[in-house]
Structure 1
Amino acid sequence: MENSAEAPLISHRDDDLDDESHSEFEDNEDVSVEWPAGRPGLFISLLTLSAGINDTGVISATLVSIGKSLSDRSLNSLDKSIITSCTSLFALIASPISSVLADHFGRKPVILLSDLLFVFGALVQAFSYKVWGMVLGRSIVGAAVGAASFVTPLYIAELAPPAHRGRLVTMNSMSVTLGQVVAYVIGWIFAEHGDPSIGWRWMVGLGALPAALQCIFLLFMPETPRWLVKAGKSMEAQRIIEKTLGSDVNKHLIVSVVKGIERELREEQGNAALATDGVKSGSWLKGWDELIRVPKNRRALIIACFLQGLQQFCGFNSLMYFSATIFTMLGFSIPTLTSLTVAATNFAFTVLALFLVDRIGRRRILLYSVPFMVVGLFLSAFGFSFVKLPSEGTNGNSSMPATTDSGSPTSSQNAAVVILVSIMTYVASYAIGLGNIPWMQSELFPLSVRSLGSGLATATNWTANFIIGLTFLPLLIYDRMDLLTPSVTFGLYGLICVVGWVGIWRIYPETAGLSLEEVTCLLENGWGVE
């Protein structure tokens, strides 16, 4: 969608730049876009750490703690699936809407809006006494998470120096995984040392605190320099870049970055005008037309949507949503604590990814890690082949322990351990690669369609998330639903990962260390894969 702020950029206001900088660069058409060397400043690191708004771990622990607190009955698998999947549905709806808002009003206001929605949704959940009230609260939280999951990585990517962009976006994922660990710890404390019927309300209610703190913190944070340039505020963009780098750098180099962004955007607008000839300027269709008809934009959209879809259809969020439920059915005495080991594995290997993503590169990390995900999923399928999960028979309770066909407790316990180890292997591999890299989607798109393209890719993620969240638990409880067995379900996820690995090898180029403007050039005449 074309931004109303593009006109000031085309008719660049000379008084935005100081006379010395302007005279030195106004005639140089080969001004470098390369960012000066330096480490990110303290303020961007603090922002990144505070940016993770996610309650996946909260809902997993909550589902096994609610009991009969909602509508005076136990939740069945359909209730749990709806409570979980409505979050994804409203995240799906919010993602493309937030992309339009981020283009018109900036990245920062959309994050603030998502914080407010998250606080409200958390409180609605905490005071719910009916299933529909919980669904309403989860839906509001879904809208908040949908907006934040799109705009937060975009905000970080547009602020970060190229050499550290992957690391900073991964820091956002790290804060999300840390939140999941905290959620499981809280869930375990309430489950073992408190009243679970009240404790789950504290779990979902306390989820409002990080969002409220981030909302306050963001009031002192800047807008991204690339959006400021697009809005014709080049001088302000220079100040933000200088502060972001956190080191004494030559001012002329900073000016060169700003002017390179300006020149790149003018070229994008010129190319888009040719590609979208006949579409009325300022029309809401123009951004879509530019995204689809310009070849490099179309390639970027295909790659971003492919990675986001793969991130969900590989089955990871199914485990995070329902891990406590799964481990309850497998017979673990403290399922929430067992789930904590999975969340802790996710966090630990996300921290490892923090140090590898810019050093090894996005493409190679995915090519190395996805095969281990396949191994973990196939081992899970193998372990489940020895386990008979309970149906939802008596009283609608699906949380009775699993057994083996032989009925041997030892065999059942061994199978459960195999499943736990294989899931941890899968989660560790996911955390290193596929859990982080799809969220670096914004670096693939030119500035003129970056918000819209990232929003559509995020919507793809939440579409897949919605499908997985709605179908995963019924697929597991096969005695009642008469659908796929757990072994087939996990095996299917493994096959999806195999197909995904081939797709990564064929179309995903290496983007580590390149400026955002340089990344878009990779897709100019092909997929950029050597």
Structure 2
Amino acid sequence: MKANKNLIFILGALGGLLYGYDNGVISGALLFIHDDIPLNSFTEGLVVASMLVGAIIGSGGSGPLSDRIGRRRLVLMIAVIYIVGSLILAVSQNMPMLVAGRLIIGLAVGGSMATVPVYLSEMAPTAYRGSLGSLNQLMITLGILAAYLVNYAFADIEGWRWMLGLAVVPSVILLIGIAFMPESPRWLLENRSEQAARDVMKITFNDETEINTEIKEMKEISAISESTWSILKSPWLRPTLVIGCVFALFQQIIGINAIIFYAPTIFSKAGLGEATSILGTVGIGTINVIVTIVAVFIADKIARKKLLITGNIGMVASLLVMAILIWTIGITSSAAIIIVCLSLFIVFFGLTWGPILWVMLPEMFPMRARGAATGLATLVLNIGTLIVAQLFPVLNSALSTEWVFLIFAVIGVFAMIFVIKYLPETRGRSLEEIEYDLRERTLGTEPKQIK
């Protein structure tokens, strides 16, 4: 039983690994694509951004779809889309094929970002929801590290097709694995039967009393006669929906994707060679995985908001130190400093903002609109990623590097103020308790209390 439970969460989070891999792999592949397919600064940005455009479409459409057909079926479809996109990238002969492959991959990326956190959150017992929800971010970091390792392995032969095409392997594993995974109990209660929900919860919950309590709370929420659309447009959800979208946007524009997408470019600007630059990203990816593993163990032990604020302080400090030192001694003399500061940034992000966003987004939204609302928030997240991917090369060319990092530091300060003032605390509370509190805290809504 325990092995089955672990397998459910690991395979359920595998979509995050693919998201991380396809995000990280392009940074190394771009160094060699030019030899076979000529790209200028505009078309290079288009290749990077096309995945993000697809992700915006995928995350926006997958939320309502997951509420309609179920989390598991949608992940199955996402795995197929990953496979198709990866194969197209591996055999690309021109820029339009690259863009098409990245766009298709983006549809899967957006879908997995919106669906996987919801699936994990709805499968997990309350006491372990933070840790199990953090598995999505852990898989993302493993995917990024795998991409960096593959980039380094194929750098000598300039094998960018292998770099992009190897995403097929985890895609096939996800396709096979998810076929044997159960559906979310909350979706089953809404769309099938109470017994179907109980059967799944018996796999992931250890306590029959806890199952009974959560089933009771789910039924009380389910008894409120509202459709997904009526909840999404209701005045009582609107403030939380805005907070969730802003939260997701901040996670991306805080600077992490500038590092993930363009770390080799930053290292090259600091005077490192191509192979050394890629090796530097492997080090950053390794640190990201290690600290995210730590985050899995602390996510349910420390308040979510306290973790986020601590992360903001650390990330801003890292960026400020790096900016000041580059300004005083110059970027070509700062390679070691840049590696250390970027690594510290990754440490604080990986412990806090990286995993906690994916834990909190599905926690914040009501059961009947959880997929759609999380999808909308991840749509905004992908817009933030697109903005960073498109603007960072422009800023890095127009401004000196220290000013670019200073801009991200200022954004980090605003993100911390946002967390302190607006973000709710969700640790240690069932999803239904959070939903009742959300309804009661908003104007004109006084539902029955959970007994």
Give TM-score, length-normalised by structure 2.
0.92
- 1:144 paired residue number: 108
CA distance in 1, matches of 2:228, 2:325: 49
- 1:398 paired residue number: none
**Cα distance, 1:150 vs. partner?**
0.6
- 1:501 paired residue number: 416
- Counterpart amino acid of 1:353? A
Structure having the larger proportion of residues in helix? 2
CA-to-aligned-CA distance 1:287-312 (integer Å, 9 cap, x gap): 444223241x2232122112100001
Answer yes or no: is 1:443 the counterpart of 2:363.
yes
- 2:287 paired residue number: 345
CA distance in 1, matches of 2:385, 2:210: 43
Answer yes or no: is 1:360 the counterpart of 2:302.
yes
- 2:447 paired residue number: none
Distance 1:40 1:385, change over 3 A: farther
Structure 2 gaps of 5+ residues are: 443-451
CA-to-aligned-CA distance 1:478-509 (integer Å, 9 cap, x gap): 2xxxxx33222211111111011011001112
- Counterpart amino acid of 1:498? V
Whether contact under 8 Å (1:299, 1:523) holds in the other structure is no
CA distance in 1, matches of 2:13, 2:54: 25
Answer yes or no: is 1:414 the counterpart of 2:329.
no
Give TM-score, length-normalised by structure 1.
0.79
Distance 1:190 1:94, change over 3 A: same
- 1:513 paired residue number: 428
**Cα distance, 1:39 vs. partner?**
11
- 1:13 paired residue number: none
**Cα distance, 1:144 vs. partner?**
0.5
**Cα distance, 1:109 vs. partner?**
1.1
Matches within 5 A, 1:88-167: 88-167=52-131
CA-to-aligned-CA distance 1:343-366 (integer Å, 9 cap, x gap): 112111111111111101211100
Matches within 5 A, 1:135-214: 135-191=99-155, 194-196=156-158, 199-214=159-174
Whether contact under 8 Å (2:9, 2:120) holds in the other structure is no
Distance 1:217 1:520, change over 3 A: same
CA distance in 2, matches of 1:262, 1:512: 22
Matches within 5 A, 1:16-95: 41-52=5-16, 53-54=18-19, 55-70=22-37, 73=38, 75-95=39-59
**Cα distance, 1:65 vs. partner?**
2.5
- 1:265 paired residue number: 222
CA distance in 2, matches of 1:147, 1:422: 33
Distance 1:386 1:89, change over 3 A: farther
SS at 1:223 equivalent: coil
User: Alignment partner for residue 223 of structure 1, among 154, 163, 183?
Assistant: 183
- Counterpart amino acid of 1:258? I
Matches within 5 A, 1:372-387: 372-385=314-327
- Counterpart amino acid of 2:417? V
Answer yes or no: is 1:491 the counterpart of 2:411.
no
CA-to-aligned-CA distance 1:451-477 (integer Å, 9 cap, x gap): 111111010100111111111112112
Matches within 5 A, 1:301-320: 301-320=241-260
**Cα distance, 1:130 vs. partner?**
1.0
Answer yes or no: is 1:432 the counterpart of 2:351.
yes
SS at 1:67 equivalent: helix
SS at 2:299 equivalent: helix
Whether contact under 8 Å (2:117, 2:362) holds in the other structure is yes
Answer yes or no: is 1:241 the counterpart of 2:198.
no
CA distance in 2, matches of 1:86, 1:51: 19
CA distance in 1, matches of 2:192, 2:90: 44
- Counterpart amino acid of 2:33? I
Whether contact under 8 Å (1:50, 1:175) holds in the other structure is yes
Structure 1 gaps of 5+ residues are: 1-37, 273-285, 388-403, 405-411, 479-483
SS at 1:157 equivalent: helix
CA distance in 1, matches of 2:7, 2:81: 25
Distance 1:311 1:253, change over 3 A: closer
SS at 1:359 equivalent: coil
- 1:19 paired residue number: none
Distance 1:456 1:106, change over 3 A: same
CA distance in 1, matches of 2:3, 2:104: 37
CA distance in 2, matches of 1:488, 1:525: 45
Query: Which segment drifts farther, 449-458 or 256-265?
Result: 256-265
**Cα distance, 1:316 vs. partner?**
0.7
Whether contact under 8 Å (1:86, 1:135) holds in the other structure is yes
Whether contact under 8 Å (1:40, 1:160) holds in the other structure is no
- Counterpart amino acid of 1:514? R
Query: Which structure has the larger Rg?
Result: 1
Whether contact under 8 Å (1:48, 1:171) holds in the other structure is no
